[in-house]
């Protein structure tokens, strides 16, 4: 069956949105489509040939009521009331067999909230979001998804003139912390209350009849779990403004993000973040700060004290989730003493930072060391394993004692990727796509969606950047 749209947000919250259609920017070309996701949303239907025209705005998308959402937010710690969907439209909600999902088109043209911008997206940033969302999904990190990528005939001015694109994003919700900050700023208490209840019913229907503080507990938990997994896999979001925080706890609005190559936890990847507010080590604290802003915005219709008390559960959830993921990554699943696990995790990260080892490949190399077959490794994996053996013997001795010579290397293979999203690979894919070829794009996406499989071991997608190459620095236009 085709997608069944249920345009709840447009129908219920006209005061928080502006209705308009996708504005074409020339003829569209379908560059990539997620067939599996489309079938999941439609209950098994095939992708229709008209999709490219629907996404590019050259034909009306049947059953939809596109709107630009209005919200506010704290950007780099400062409140900005003038935010909203400036280059994207919420096409509508899709009633899938398992749940309700939002469909959103980025690059759909200027809206009343564009603040002088052109309302467009470029192929470069669209590909980066596509790659990140599907890589995250494969790693088990909560995320929005990419459904389709369409390039346009538009030529978009950023740092240079770049080809245009439109990306279809799928999410449990596009309601952001900043929606409630907008309602607080504009004294829209009734709208905020209705929007909150609508969101809970959509995302966590089992909590629909609970108190606001109990409902808020779901948001706190989801946010803590998401950020803990960022930390465990060495991911830096880059712009954790409150308007980039999803109520569902899904990684949202991919911009100047990066995964670590060599482990440099102090490096700031967003070159516009001069104070380092959104650096890797700051992310857990920023997550809590953002939740406090949301709790304050809910104060108009919730008990301030009970909502704030829920925030006390943030750090325990974050620590527990991080510990559990790291125990799997390090093969410590059978070690019951958490103090011992924390000590080994801390020592491992210190080893990676001191000797500047590749963050994600080191876990795969460690697995081979623990199994005693590391000498069969070649290339970067072999080199990393050698360095672990040479420089980490004290840590390995402590580890061996803790696991009683029974590391859980089977779990390690299931959670430690061979293929991780790397900036230099993404840039290569983008350059090829800008020249008209999607071969590299499809190859990399397929590798990112099966990141644990040994078949990738000798492919280009495993290779880190050349030794001595400085870490990437990206801008918000990424």
Reported as a single tens digit per residue, the pLDDT across 195-244 is 999 999 999 999 999 999 999 999 999 999 999 999 999 999 999 999 99
pLDDT for res 465: 94
From 145, 177, 209, give the residue that closes a domain: 177
pLDDT at residue 273 in the model: 84
Q: Which two tokens stand for residue 305?
A: 């004290």
Q: Is 170 helix (H, G, I), strand (E, B) or coil?
A: strand
Known binder of ligand: residue 327? no
> Known binder of ligand: residue 109?
no
Give the pLDDT of residue 475.
Answer: 60
DSSP, collapsed to helix, strand or coil, labels residue 317 as helix
Name the nearest CA neighbour of 63 among 41, 82, 80, 34. 41
User: Given this model, what pLDDT does residue 473 score?
Assistant: 63
342 CB burial (10 A radius; 0-12, 13-18, 19+):
middle
Residue entry with tokens 């899904």: 250
Q: What is the rounded distance in angstroms from the CA atom of residue 379 to the CA atom of residue 303?
A: 58
| pLDDT score, position 470 | 62
My answer on whether 264 and 154 are in the same domain is no
Residue 256 within any structural domain of the chain: yes
71 CB-contact burial (10 Å; exposed 0-12 / middle 13-18 / buried 19+): buried
pLDDT value at residue 466:
87
Residues 193 and 253 in one domain: yes
Q: What is the pLDDT of residue 31?
A: 98
pLDDT value at residue 478: 53
Q: What pLDDT score was predicted for residue 268? A: 87
Burial of 49 (0-12, 13-18, 19+ CB in 10 A): exposed
The question of whether 243 is a catalytic residue gets the answer yes
Report the distance separating Cα 99 and Cα 464, nearest Å: 38
Give yes or no: residues 38 and 171 share one domain. Answer: yes
440 within domain boundaries: no
Q: Are residues 78 and 155 in the same domain?
A: yes
| 45 labelled ligand-binding | no
Strand, helix or coil at 401?
helix
Alpha helices (H) in 234-282, listed in sequence order: none
Secondary structure class of 276 (helix, strand, coil): coil
The pLDDT, as a whole number, for residue 422 is: 97
Task: Examine the fold and report which residue of 360, 382, 407 is the final residue of a domain before the chain moves on.
Answer: 407
- The C-alpha atoms of residue 106 and residue 88 are separated, in whole angstroms, by 4
For residue 169, which phi and psi values (nearest 5 degrees)? -110, 140
- Considering the domain architecture, whether residues 246 and 286 belong to the same structural domain is answered as yes
pLDDT digits 0-9 by tens, 91-128:
999 999 989 999 999 999 999 999 999 999 999 999 99
Residue-wise over 222-252: b if at least 16 C-beta within 10 A, else e? Answer: bbbbbbbbbbbbbbbbbbbbbbbbbbbbbbb
- Give a yes or no: residue 215 inside a domain: yes
Residue span of the structural domain in which 82 resides = 8-177
Instruction: Calculate the alpha carbon distances from 226 to 48, 137, 220, 399 in Å.
Output: 34, 12, 10, 27
Note whether 26 and 136 are same-domain residues: yes
In 140-266, which ranges are continuous DSSP H helix? 177-185, 189-203, 212-233
Q: What is the pLDDT of residues 17-28, one digit of tens each?
A: 999 999 999 999
Domain assignment present for residue 457? The answer is no
Report which of 111, 99, 294, 307 is spatially closest to residue 204, judged by C-alpha positions: 99
- CA 261, CA 421: separation in Å to the nearest integer? 10
**Domain end position, chosen among 357, 378, 407:** 407
The annotation status of 118 as a binding-site residue, yes or no, is: yes
Whether the CB-CB separation of 82 and 25 falls below 8 Å is answered with: no
CB atoms within 10 A of CB 93: 23
Say how far apart CA 173 and CA 386 lie, in whole Å: 46
Per-residue tokens: 258: 């990066």
Q: Which residues of the chain have pLDDT under 50?
A: none
| Same domain? 20 vs 135 | yes
- Domain membership of residue 262 (yes or no) is yes
* 172 assigned ligand-binding residue: no
- Confidence at residue 476, expressed as pLDDT on a 0 to 100 scale: 66
Q: 187: phi > 0 → left, psi -120 to 50 → alpha, else beta; which?
A: left
Q: Is 45 in a helix, a strand, or coil?
A: coil
CA angle 341-343-348, nearest 5°?
A: 95
Report helix, strand or coil for 163. Answer: strand
Instruction: Report the distance separating Cα 191 and Cα 180, nearest Å.
Output: 9
Catalytic residue among 25, 243, 262, 438: 243
Residues 98 and 167 in one domain: yes
Q: Are both 22 and 127 inside the same structural domain?
A: yes
- Whether residue 429 is contained in a domain is answered as no
Flag whether 472 is in a domain.
Answer: no
Q: Which residues are bridge partners to 36 per DSSP? A: none
Answer yes or no: is 87 a known binding residue: yes
Q: Is 77 annotated as a binding residue?
A: no
pLDDT of residue 472: 64
Instruction: At 47, list the tokens.
Output: 């992708």
| Residue with tokens 């504009």, as numbered in its chain | 186
Pairing of strands 73-75, 78-80: antiparallel
Question: Residue 474 has what pLDDT?
Answer: 65
Q: Nearest to residue 77, comparing CAs of 234, 255, 251, 285?
A: 285
**23 three-state secondary structure:** coil
Q: Residue 239 has what DSSP assignment?
A: -
pLDDT at 274: 82
β-bridge mates for residue 148, sequence order: 33, 168
- The residues with which 157 forms a beta bridge, in sequence order, are 161
Q: Are residues 357 and 283 in the same domain?
A: no
| Same domain assignment for residues 22 and 138 | yes
pLDDT score recorded for residue 270: 84
Please tell me the predicted confidence (pLDDT) of residue 78. 97
pLDDT at 305: 80
Q: Nearest Cα to 22, choosing from 167, 148, 139? A: 167
User: Is residue 426, in this structure, part of any structural domain at all?
Assistant: no
Co-location of 262 and 131 in the same domain: no
The number of domains in the chain is 3
- Is residue 253 marked as binding? yes
């Amino acid at each position: 069956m085709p997608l069944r749209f249920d345009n709840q947000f447009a129908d219920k919250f006209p005061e928080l949105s502006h209705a308009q259609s996708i504005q074409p920017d020339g003829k569209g070309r379908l560059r990539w489509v997620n067939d599996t996701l489309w079938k999941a949303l439609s209950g098994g239907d095939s992708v229709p040939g008209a999709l490219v025209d629907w996404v590019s705005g050259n034909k009306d998308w049947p059953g939809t009521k596109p709107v630009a959402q209005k919200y506010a937010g704290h950007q780099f710690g400062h409140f900005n009331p003038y935010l909203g969907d400036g280059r994207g439209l919420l096409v509508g909600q899709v009633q899938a067999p398992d749940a309700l999902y939002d469909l959103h088109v980025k690059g759909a043209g200027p809206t009343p909230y564009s603040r002088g911008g052109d309302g467009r997206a470029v192929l470069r940033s669209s590909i980066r979001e596509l790659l990140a969302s599907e890589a995250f999904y494969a790693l088990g990190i909560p995320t929005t998804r990419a459904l389709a990528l369409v390039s346009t005939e538009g030529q978009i001015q950023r740092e240079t003139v770049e080809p245009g694109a439109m990306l279809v994003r799928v999410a449990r919700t596009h309601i952001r912390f900043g929606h409630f900050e907008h309602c607080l700023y504009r004294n829209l208490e009734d709208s905020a209350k209705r929007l909150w209840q609508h969101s809970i019913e959509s995302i966590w229907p089992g909590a629909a009849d609970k108190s606001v503080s109990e409902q808020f507990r779901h948001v706190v938990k989801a946010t803590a779990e998401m950020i803990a997994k960022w930390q465990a896999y060495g991911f830096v979001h880059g712009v954790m403004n409150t308007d980039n925080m999803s109520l569902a706890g899904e990684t949202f609005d991919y911009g100047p993000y990066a995964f670590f190559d060599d482990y440099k936890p102090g490096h700031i990847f967003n070159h516009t973040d001069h104070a380092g507010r959104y650096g890797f080590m700051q992310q857990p604290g920023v997550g809590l700060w953002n939740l406090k802003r949301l709790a304050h915005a809910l104060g108009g219709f919730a008990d301030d004290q009970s909502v704030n008390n829920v925030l006390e559960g943030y750090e325990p959830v974050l620590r527990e989730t991080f510990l559990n993921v790291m125990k799997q990554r390090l093969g410590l699943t059978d070690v019951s003493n958490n103090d011992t696990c924390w000590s080994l995790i801390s020592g491992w990260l210190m080893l990676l930072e001191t000797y500047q080892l590749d963050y994600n490949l080191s876990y795969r190399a460690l697995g081979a060391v623990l199994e005693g077959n590391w000498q069969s490794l070649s290339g970067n994996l072999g080199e990393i394993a050698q360095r672990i053996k040479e420089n980490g013997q004290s840590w390995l001795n402590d580890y061996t004692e803790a696991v009683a010579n029974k590391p859980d290397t089977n779990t390690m293979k299931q959670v430690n990727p061979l293929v991780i999203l790397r900036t230099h690979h993404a840039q290569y894919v983008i350059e090829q796509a800008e020249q008209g070829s999607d071969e590299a794009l499809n190859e990399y996406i397929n590798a990112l969606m099966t990141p644990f499989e040994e078949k990738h071991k000798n492919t280009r997608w495993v290779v880190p950047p050349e030794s001595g190459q400085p870490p990437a620095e990206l801008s918000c236009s990424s």
